[in-house]
Amino acid sequence: MPKYIDGFVVPIEKKNLAAYRKLAKLAGKVWREHGALQYVEAVGADLNLPYGFPFPKLAKLKKTETVFFSFIVYKSKADRDRVNGKVMRDPRLAKCMDPKAMPFDMKRMSCGGFEVLVEAK
């Protein structure tokens, strides 16, 4: 079954982790209720690996920051568009979605949509 994923890399001040967790718990609940198959928010734990391009450099992290790697899984791109339309109209998230209310700088967030090429179970 084809799937579609929205992926995010979000740098965040460590002092804002509690506020981000609160937002993520609510967002995850809302996305799932509107049809997302999976919602994951993962905070950096082992970021300075000796290979590849490390997330701290990719996200241009400051010493006071960490990074989240997050994703939302949908049935398809069309389903993503349908689900996100409902999510953006959901009153539970209206106040949270204001860029001024976010516990991170949205200008530094990286995001994109991805078609699943391989899925091993």
Strands (DSSP E) contained in 23-119 are 38-43, 65-74, 110-115
Name the stretches of the chain with pLDDT < 50: none
Residue 120: inside a domain, yes or no?
no
Structural domain of 26:
4-115
**115 Cβ contact partners less than 8 Å away, ≥ 6 residues apart:** 2, 3, 4, 5, 77
Stated pTM of the model: 0.91
Residue 121: inside a domain, yes or no?
no
CATH code, domain carrying 14: 3.30.70.100
Residue 67: inside a domain, yes or no?
yes
Q: How far is CA 40 from CA 28, 50, 57, 60, in A?
A: 8, 25, 22, 22
pLDDT in tens, 106-115: 888 999 999 9
Residue 87: inside a domain, yes or no?
yes
pLDDT in tens, 32-52: 999 999 999 999 999 988 899
How many domains is the chain partitioned into structurally? 1
